[in-house]
Amino acid sequence: MSITVRELHAVEILDSRARPTLVVTLETEGGLSVRAGVPAGASTGSREAVERRDGDPKRYSGQGVLGAAGAVNDEILDALAGRSFDDLAALDEALISLDGTENKSRLGANAIVGVSMAAARAFAATAGIALWRSFAGSLSAPRLPAPHFNLINGGRHASNQLEFQEFMLAPLGAPSVADAARAGSEVYAALRKLLLGRNLSVGLGDEGGFAPEIARPEEVLRLLVEAITLAGYRPGPDGVAIAIDAASSEFYREGSYDVAGETLSADEMINRYEEIVESFPVWLLEDGLAESDWDGWERLTARLGDRVELVGDDIFCTNPAIISHAISCKVANASLIKVNQIGTVTETLEAMRICHEAGYAQFVSHRSGETEDTFIADLAVGTGCGHMKSGAPARGERVAKYNRLIEIEDAEHLPYGLGRSLT
Ligand code: PGA
Ligand code: ZN
């Protein structure tokens, strides 16, 4: 079913980190009005589509997005207004060719992705279906993803000494999203109690997880296992497992990794990860090595790829060409999926399709800078990718996505979880 664009309007609003971002409203000739909030990251891959910021030091320390808003309100509106598009791929193609750059730097990936997300909603609403249904069919059958709750924040998302960025709780063995949310909430509460009992801070990082002064990843993992047990759950893939996003590009310096006061080579990092997965119920490791350390990634994949889901985030940037190359080099066995990293919904779906066909998993993700927009919940359900991360089970911009999953589950009896067994 086609849509004809009547109006587009972008406004500079605030994201969850008090930085400016965009909300884009799209109106169709059919009288529909839909909107999309644009996410933004902090630990960004160097090959991500380029977010356009004003650079005016007098406003928001240069972070303003008035230029990107202007691109939507002037040039993109002029190019799209009155035009009919048969599908989202055609509209996204118009945006890509209007921008004309390899990395969407002219109009700005933040401008383009806001229009693309709003347009996806417009196509679904015009067809009279929920957004998630509009993604169904091309990949795996729709299912409710296992939420991955980020309980401990470090790296660029917190001011503590912890280098690893995210320690996530993965209720893989829960029977439903509602039960997974309950596990996330109960373990979060148990963890808070344990931290207070040790006189550690329960202040929060950017994604709503606690940010205590702990440096060693193993110490965090011990605490998490204790919290899972204290809350009455079984640690492990048939109960509540753990996932790590090391975001290691951020602590990679001159060919080595700086972790908790030690300087480690790629091979020493791989050994450390092997010890971690043998000692703790860690089932997924994201960005274990740096985006520029492809040789290390090949060895990491050869060593742990049959036991652990190895997710490429900064190294892949949701970019179909980079992912295809990685598949041919046997680098990682999964890709993180962030819509704003590549800049259009169509290219995101293409990245997911390439993964799917090669047997690479897809892990749909929010950004550290978020709005209350719930787009990724529908994307994860419709594509049947099996798992999604949206931060802690706390703070409105994080729980909005999890709550959307609960509402989809309430309306539709879809299967829950990964939909595959872990080796
Ligand atoms: P970012 O972090 O949104 O700050 O880039 C999220 C991640 O690394 O997965
Ligand atoms: Zn990451």
| Averaged pLDDT, 326-343 | 98
Question: What atom in ligand 1 is closest to the CA of residue 365?
Answer: 9
Q: How far apart are CA 38 and CA 119, in angstroms?
A: 13
Q: How far apart are CA 294 and CA 415, in angstroms?
A: 36
Residue tagged active-site, from 51, 286, 309, 338: 338
Among 19, 251, 313, 364, which is best to mutate for testing ligand 1, by the most ligand atoms less than 8 A from CB?
313
Please tell me the predicted confidence (pLDDT) of residue 189: 98
CA of 97 to the centre of ligand 1 (A): 28
Question: What atom in ligand 1 is closest to the CA of residue 336?
Answer: 9
Count of beta carbons in the 10 Å neighbourhood of residue 295: 12
Please tell me the predicted confidence (pLDDT) of residue 316: 98
Please tell me the predicted confidence (pLDDT) of residue 274: 98
Closest-CA residue to 153 (of 115, 191, 196, 105): 191
Cα–Cα distances in angstroms (integers) from residue 238 to residues 89, 175, 220, in the given order: 39, 10, 21
Residue tagged active-site, from 12, 48, 51, 207: 207
Q: For residue 370, indicate whether it is catalytic.
A: no
Q: Which ligand is nearest to the CA of 209?
A: 1
Residue 1's pLDDT band, with cuts at 50, 70 and 90, is: confident
Could you read off the pLDDT of 357-412 as tens digits, one per residue? 999 999 999 999 999 999 999 999 999 999 999 999 999 999 999 999 999 999 99
Question: What atom in ligand 1 is closest to the CA of residue 367?
Answer: 3
CA of 61 to the centre of ligand 2 (A): 25
Ligand 1, atom 6, residue with closest C-alpha: 367
Who lines ligand 1 at CB under 6 A? 41-44, 165, 245, 247, 313, 365, 367-368
CA of 219 to the centre of ligand 2 (A): 21
Q: For residue 226, indicate whether it is catalytic.
A: no
CA of 77 to the centre of ligand 1 (A): 30
Residue 422's pLDDT band, with cuts at 50, 70 and 90, is: confident
Could you read off the pLDDT of 216-227 as tens digits, one per residue? 999 999 999 999
Closest-CA residue to 166 (of 154, 183, 149, 184): 154
Residue 421's pLDDT band, with cuts at 50, 70 and 90, is: confident
Question: What atom in ligand 1 is closest to the CA of residue 156?
Answer: 4
CA of 156 to the centre of ligand 1 (A): 9
Please tell me the predicted confidence (pLDDT) of residue 111: 99
Q: Which ligand is nearest to the CA of 285?
A: 2
Among 164, 250, 365, 388, which is best to mutate for testing ligand 1, by the most ligand atoms less than 8 A from CB?
365
pLDDT of 73 > 80? The answer is yes
CA of 286 to the centre of ligand 2 (A): 6
Question: What atom in ligand 1 is closest to the CA of residue 40?
Answer: 3
Q: How far apart are CA 6 and CA 81, in angstroms?
A: 5
Could you read off the pLDDT of 274-317 as tens digits, one per residue? 999 999 999 999 999 999 999 999 999 999 999 999 999 999 99
Residue 50's pLDDT band, with cuts at 50, 70 and 90, is: very high
Percentage of the chain exceeding pLDDT 70: 100
pLDDT of 423 > 90? The answer is no
Among 284, 338, 390, which is best to mutate for testing ligand 1, by the most ligand atoms less than 8 A from CB?
338
CA of 9 to the centre of ligand 2 (A): 31
pLDDT of 76 > 70? The answer is yes
Could you read off the pLDDT of 132-182 as tens digits, one per residue? 999 998 799 999 999 999 999 999 999 999 999 999 999 999 999 999 999
pLDDT of 100 > 90? The answer is yes
Question: What atom in ligand 1 is closest to the CA of residue 206?
Answer: 4
- Dihedral angle computed from the Cα positions of residues 396, 400, 401 and 407, in that order, rounded to the nearest 10 degrees: 150
Q: Which ligand is nearest to the CA of 389?
A: 1
Element holding 296 (H helix, E strand):
helix 294-304
Contact criterion met (CB below 8 Å) for 379 and 339: yes
Please tell me the predicted confidence (pLDDT) of residue 96: 98
Q: What is the mean pLDDT of the chain?
A: 97
